Amino acid sequence: MSNSDDDADLRARIQALEMRLAEHDDREAIRTLRCTYHEYVNQDRVAELADLFSENATVSYGGRPSVTGREAIRAFFINFPIKWARQFIHAHVVEIDGDRGRGYSHLDGRPVLNGKSLMVGGRFDDEYVRENGRWLFSKVVLTTWYMVTVEPGWETAAAPKPAQT
């Protein structure tokens, strides 16, 4: 084997590693996107959720009518009937194809609705797009598997806190 063969082999191996690293970085960026979504929910920052979506994204949540467009998505989350929730995501699987991707994750939710604590299980099915070097949601579909009332629950955690003087 000549030095040029060794050099070509080394260049090919480096290129393959660079591609794998880039895909890994993209996957981690998408996982961070999904985690940020739930961090915003858990920190009561719902108005900021829309900033995680592309301009023409679509959201379809648990049988409600779909909404399309970043500002419609912002209004959807601001006006959502559940005003307090804590969400935990499991088993986030991501597939990437260039500047697009697909993924799913499982939801374990603890919202309060009408003063009642609920346990919610479901699945998010997502589509992602990279725009200007940033991964965003282009579609989010939430399928709710169950919602069960829990008594006593955590509704007191959702109660407004008195102002401190």
The pLDDT score that the predictor gives to residue 155 is 85
The pLDDT score that the predictor gives to residue 165 is 59
Residue 106 in any domain: the answer is: yes
Backbone phi and psi for residue 60, each to the nearest 5 degrees, phi listed first: -130, 115
Question: DSSP for 28-97?
Answer: HHHHHHHHHHHHHHHTT-GGGGGGGEEEEEEEEETTSPPEESHHHHHHHHHT-S--B--EEEEEEEEEEE
What pTM was estimated for this model as a whole?
A: 0.86
The pLDDT score that the predictor gives to residue 157 is 83
The whole domain housing 120 covers 3-158
How many domains is the chain built from? Answer: 1
The pLDDT score that the predictor gives to residue 63 is 82
The pLDDT score that the predictor gives to residue 141 is 97
Residue 165 in any domain: the answer is: no
CATH number at residue 129: 3.10.450.50
Residue 117 in any domain: the answer is: yes
CA distance 84 to 87: 10
Residue 164 in any domain: the answer is: no
Residue 29 in any domain: the answer is: yes
The pLDDT score that the predictor gives to residue 162 is 72
The pLDDT score that the predictor gives to residue 127 is 98
Residue 102 in any domain: the answer is: yes
pLDDT, averaged in runs of 10, over the chain (165 residues): 78 87 91 97 94 97 92 95 92 96 97 92 98 97 95 83 67
Residue 163 in any domain: the answer is: no
